[in-house]
Structure 1
Amino acid sequence: MREGKITTRHLTGLGGFLLSASLLLLTLQPTTLLADPSIIEAVVNQRFTDDLAAMRKRRQIRALVAYSRTDFAIRPDGKAVGLQVEMLAEYEKRLNKGIKRAVERTRVILIPTTFDRLIPDLLEGKGDIAAALLTMTPERKKRVAFATGAAMEVSELLVQHKKAKPVTTLDQLAGREIVVLRNSSYAEHLRALNRDFAERGLEPIRITEAESQLHSEDILELVNSGAVEMTVVDDYKARIWAKVLPDIRVVESVPVSQGNTLGWAVRKNNPKLHASLNSFARKVRKGSLLGNILFKRYYDDPEWISNPLADAERSRFRQVVAVFSIYADTYGFDVLATTAQAYQESRLDQNRRSHRGAIGIMQMLPSTAADPNVGIDDIRSLENNIHAGVKYLAFLRDRYFSEPGISPKDRLAFSWAAYNAGPANVRRMRSKASKMGLDPDSWFGQVELAAARTVGNETVDYVRNVFKYYVAYALVRDQLLATTQAALSD
């Protein structure tokens, strides 16, 4: 990873709600206040839509948060970390100023959800604050009220892989694919551009909204790897990540949207809560050291994914996809899902050996392959290694994650987690998730938070990386499946 210093000039143009967080990051350590399992109570099924007075009477305000490296995560030591955690902790402190008795204080409780569910869950009464720096778009303003504090202007910028064809005008986006966060303002503004393009007879932008389990940081990482050519993010986020991801280029000169306002969202029928949050945002003094503090705290030496669609990697894919197709069909998997896992395990290299004795493309241990539930001999051969790996993955899925309440996508994620950490550890993760008030049947944004407390971040990163490779493959599914058919016919 190439390191870069984050300075105040990289945050030019931000004010109010965003910059208020930088002061908090100077003074607050990762907080235990919001991470203790007794604090993250089992309130996800409660529905309330009343205002601040009723929240104070219940002694709780529920903040909906989306898991991401920037906003909200739980460390192995049980402490909640992230920009939103810091801001919510400070809001709780200010909300309870002057209240001496702990029993009378109002507590902020984190309710994990996915980014695309922040506003729907807010409106359904599952939380009281959508705690993310959301862009105040016309469509969102129809549905919710924004707590923005001091005025600010944020632009949405294109971010390209450094080898992508440069963009110097918005018209050059006609016919090109841009991958953005699902249900984001980025998608909304790109659709507005497409309406303009249609009026002028230009080919539309091909807008791909990524899986809701991904975050802007994940998509930027896919751009950095070369698997995705281009995305759109807020300017402050683009500038910060450009100092960390060496192979992205921020297109400052061609903003997709300008003059946007960011803030937390609340229901329109909660004027007292809205006023309280606006007051909080105005009173917290502005700072300017967000980048340095945030990245030193949360992103020190991360391990970035590589590009599974590079020429050399596609060549390896072509060499193995026919075998993966056979066993994926046999055991009921998407061939791209099993190949994505193999890419994470070995970069599709059958010659790979680990210090623990794992062998081949699926990094199978001989003892696992010999287990009666797998029973595949000679995993030094490519086909047997793939067969053993996919069969073991199917065994994990069918033995441990067959409950009807688990979605197919989560069954796959749990199976990947068990492949990496073992089924006993995943059982512990799910049990801990239940105690934390999280959904034990959902991996993303739920059990993965408990996983960090159970075995550390290795399994969380493993599943997320496999999922990112799966998404990268899925973006060019037709091309890859054509490759599969060609390989099968050879």
Structure 2
Amino acid sequence: MRLTLLLPLLLLSGCDLQKSHLDRVQDNDELVVLTRNSATTYYQGPFGPTGLEYDLAKGFAEFLGVKLRLVTPDTLSDILDDIQSGRGDVAAAGLTITEERKRILNFGPAYQHITPQLVYRSGHRAPGNIEDLAGTLEVVAQSSHAEKLRQLQKSYPELTFLENPELESEELLYLVWEQVIDYTVADSNEISINRRFYPELRVAFDISAPEPLAWAFPPGEDLSLLNKAREYFDKLNRSGRLEQLLDHYYGYVSNFDYVGTRRYMKHIKERLPPFRKWFEEAGKETGEDWRLLAAMGYQESHWNPKAVSPTGVRGIMMLTQKTMQHLGINKSRHNAQASIEGGALYLTNIKKKLPERIKDPDRTWLALAAYNVGFGHLEDARILAQEAGANPDKWADVKKFLPLLSQKKWYKKTRYGYARGREPVRYVENIRSYYDILVWLTDKDKLPTEVSPAFKIDTPAL
């Protein structure tokens, strides 16, 4: 009798073991994707989860008819170990196909080609080649960059470098910008994204020819899920969807121009006049200084009503359709007057969510940061500041903690997780500078403008 009861269980167990990878995913109704938090892969943006890898993985889960579960291991090494051990169905983390990795993993079709490049900071002598390096070169541990440098050491035995097991490429670029290290190697797509925030970063030379990025799958002969991924990417290619996604995240970056003071002042004369009346009207309705709203509009879109960002926000004030509807504005986001009205109301609503004890100008600077990075991420930074003994109600303190949201050591402790925390710091400081120039110009021309008490300060923007 006992053997009779055990037999069906053994048969069921055996059947489960014989199921293909694809069958197991569909039976579990879940696709487990290993990825990493970065601007080029996946992160929680102001309007929800975003990133190229996120969009691709979400699309694949929908293609399979299952739910998506994202897992973000601590390091690149952990991602590679986990997918090799089968602790995930696919690794979608901007992985370069290399010879070393092909020996231990299966790879899907290439969806993007990037070029690994050596990066330094302007103001330092530009190295022309590997032999010109004179300083600290640091790369992500177990990365394709480390593998490439080990290959180069065969031809250049004097080449030395460090492998950092804790920081991501984005963080190493920041260290180069801060002049903590002299060089790093990063992929061309990561450089394109991050040079907007660190304009002094420069590319010295390419480390190799362009290389393909692809998803990694567990090793073995079961290619059922991988073959399904091939079908999915083939569909994306044929439909033009893949090209749209790449353009969505990287197309605008190729035209990036670091706008200086002269260009800004030129745009004040040439671009601002048609929109000034609407900035003034929005200022009167909300109690905000119209020049602050105009400075926001310039930071967001350079006063371009047709602007579209990689996250899908549109218009002069870069709002989502959902935000416009929530504000009760049922007009196109490309309608300049509607966008300006929406941006002003949205900023005012954020201010209302902040504790009443926070006074201007800090209240405004914190609200601007939340407008850019999301209210939840701002609150995470304020909590980190408070826990460290800093003042969570002062912008001068909070802006020191926002950048920590891009570091694993810190964002793992927060509710809303990873954010490109340095971006809102630059965002706020840029707006302060743009605002100061507008105040100076309007005062110079003695135009009838009224300055909010929040901005009657004698010190310049830092």
Question: TM-score with structure 1 length normalisation?
Answer: 0.47
In structure 2, what is the Cα distance between the partners aligned to 1:166 and 1:155? 19
**One-letter amino acid matched to 2:176:** V
Structure-2 change in CA distance of 1:460 and 1:226 (3 Å): closer
* 1:86 equivalent among 46, 55, 79: 55
Counterpart of 2:434 in structure 1 is none
Counterpart of 1:204 in structure 2 is 159
In structure 2, what is the Cα distance between the partners aligned to 1:208 and 1:164? 20
How far is the alpha carbon of 1:94 from its aligned partner? 2.1
* 2:104 equivalent among 130, 143, 149: 143
In structure 2, what is the Cα distance between the partners aligned to 1:422 and 1:459? 19
In the alignment, structure 1 residue 166 sits paired with structure 2 residue 126:
yes
**One-letter amino acid matched to 1:237:** E
**One-letter amino acid matched to 2:128:** T
Instruction: Report if the CA contact (8 A) 2:135-2:182 is conserved.
Output: no
Structure-2 change in CA distance of 1:192 and 1:416 (3 Å): farther
In structure 1, what is the Cα distance between the partners aligned to 2:174 and 2:422? 18
* 2:147 equivalent among 188, 191, 195: 188
In structure 1, what is the Cα distance between the partners aligned to 2:154 and 2:31? 40
> Deviation string for 1:230-267 (max 9, x for gaps)?
1111123223433442111112xx32122422111111
How far is the alpha carbon of 1:444 from its aligned partner? 5.3
Structure-2 change in CA distance of 1:459 and 1:193 (3 Å): closer
How far is the alpha carbon of 1:52 from its aligned partner? 1.2
How far is the alpha carbon of 1:109 from its aligned partner? 0.6
In the alignment, structure 1 residue 222 sits paired with structure 2 residue 175:
yes
How far is the alpha carbon of 1:461 from its aligned partner? 9.1
In the alignment, structure 1 residue 271 sits paired with structure 2 residue 223:
yes
Structure-2 change in CA distance of 1:247 and 1:293 (3 Å): closer
How far is the alpha carbon of 1:299 from its aligned partner? 12
**One-letter amino acid matched to 2:114:** V
Instruction: Report if the CA contact (8 A) 1:72-1:80 is conserved.
Output: yes
In structure 2, what is the Cα distance between the partners aligned to 1:420 and 1:279? 53
Secondary structure at the aligned position of 1:167 is classed as coil
In structure 1, what is the Cα distance between the partners aligned to 2:411 and 2:229? 25
In structure 2, what is the Cα distance between the partners aligned to 1:196 and 1:108? 45
In structure 2, what is the Cα distance between the partners aligned to 1:119 and 1:243? 30
Structure-2 change in CA distance of 1:222 and 1:75 (3 Å): same
Counterpart of 2:28 in structure 1 is 58
**One-letter amino acid matched to 1:224:** W
What residue ranges of structure 1 are gaps of 5+ in the alignment?
Answer: 1-48, 97-105, 301-353, 357-413, 424-441, 463-490
Listed as ranges, the matches of 1:385-424 within 5 Å are 418-419=387-388
In structure 2, what is the Cα distance between the partners aligned to 1:87 and 1:158? 28
Secondary structure at the aligned position of 2:216 is classed as strand
Q: Give 4+ residue runs of structure 1 displaced > 4 Å after superposition.
A: 292-295, 297-300, 414-417, 420-423, 442-445, 456-462
Secondary structure at the aligned position of 1:197 is classed as coil
Instruction: Report if the CA contact (8 A) 2:41-2:54 is conserved.
Output: yes
Instruction: Report if the CA contact (8 A) 1:76-1:452 is conserved.
Output: no
In structure 1, what is the Cα distance between the partners aligned to 2:173 and 2:139? 9
How far is the alpha carbon of 1:53 from its aligned partner? 1.1
Instruction: Report if the CA contact (8 A) 2:35-2:79 is conserved.
Output: yes
Structure-2 change in CA distance of 1:457 and 1:139 (3 Å): closer
What residue ranges of structure 2 are gaps of 5+ in the alignment?
Answer: 1-18, 257-308, 314-357, 361-382, 393-407, 426-462
Structure-2 change in CA distance of 1:187 and 1:299 (3 Å): farther
Instruction: Report if the CA contact (8 A) 2:250-2:310 is conserved.
Output: no
How far is the alpha carbon of 1:229 from its aligned partner? 1.4
Instruction: Report if the CA contact (8 A) 1:153-1:258 is conserved.
Output: no
Counterpart of 1:177 in structure 2 is 136
In structure 2, what is the Cα distance between the partners aligned to 1:275 and 1:415? 45
**One-letter amino acid matched to 1:70:** T
Counterpart of 1:74 in structure 2 is 44
Secondary structure at the aligned position of 1:228 is classed as coil
Instruction: Report if the CA contact (8 A) 1:146-1:263 is conserved.
Output: yes
How far is the alpha carbon of 1:216 from its aligned partner? 1.3
How far is the alpha carbon of 1:149 from its aligned partner? 4.2
In structure 1, what is the Cα distance between the partners aligned to 2:39 and 2:113? 24
In the alignment, structure 1 residue 246 sits paired with structure 2 residue 246:
no
How far is the alpha carbon of 1:80 from its aligned partner? 1.7
Instruction: Report if the CA contact (8 A) 1:70-1:298 is conserved.
Output: no
Secondary structure at the aligned position of 2:156 is classed as helix
Root mean square deviation, CA, Å: 3.7
Instruction: Report if the CA contact (8 A) 2:32-2:68 is conserved.
Output: yes
In the alignment, structure 1 residue 156 sits paired with structure 2 residue 116:
yes
Instruction: Report if the CA contact (8 A) 2:108-2:230 is conserved.
Output: yes
How far is the alpha carbon of 1:416 from its aligned partner? 7.2
> Deviation string for 1:105-160 (max 9, x for gaps)?
x112111212221110112232111111111111111111111246x643211111
Secondary structure at the aligned position of 2:57 is classed as helix
In structure 2, what is the Cα distance between the partners aligned to 1:158 and 1:81? 27
In structure 2, what is the Cα distance between the partners aligned to 1:274 and 1:220? 33
How far is the alpha carbon of 1:176 from its aligned partner? 3.7
**One-letter amino acid matched to 1:72:** Y
Structure-2 change in CA distance of 1:245 and 1:182 (3 Å): same
Instruction: Report if the CA contact (8 A) 1:178-1:229 is conserved.
Output: yes
Instruction: Report if the CA contact (8 A) 1:239-1:250 is conserved.
Output: no
Instruction: Report if the CA contact (8 A) 2:119-2:185 is conserved.
Output: yes
Secondary structure at the aligned position of 1:63 is classed as strand
* 2:90 equivalent among 129, 132, 137: 129
Structure number, greater radius of gyration: 2
In structure 2, what is the Cα distance between the partners aligned to 1:279 and 1:164? 48
Structure-2 change in CA distance of 1:172 and 1:293 (3 Å): closer
Instruction: Report if the CA contact (8 A) 2:176-2:183 is conserved.
Output: yes
Instruction: Report if the CA contact (8 A) 1:128-1:266 is conserved.
Output: yes
Work out which structure has the larger RCO, using CA pairs closer than 8 Å and 6 or more positions apart in sequence: 1
Structure-2 change in CA distance of 1:249 and 1:277 (3 Å): same
Structure-2 change in CA distance of 1:135 and 1:417 (3 Å): farther
Question: TM-score with structure 2 length normalisation?
Answer: 0.50
Instruction: Report if the CA contact (8 A) 1:154-1:259 is conserved.
Output: yes
**One-letter amino acid matched to 1:256:** I
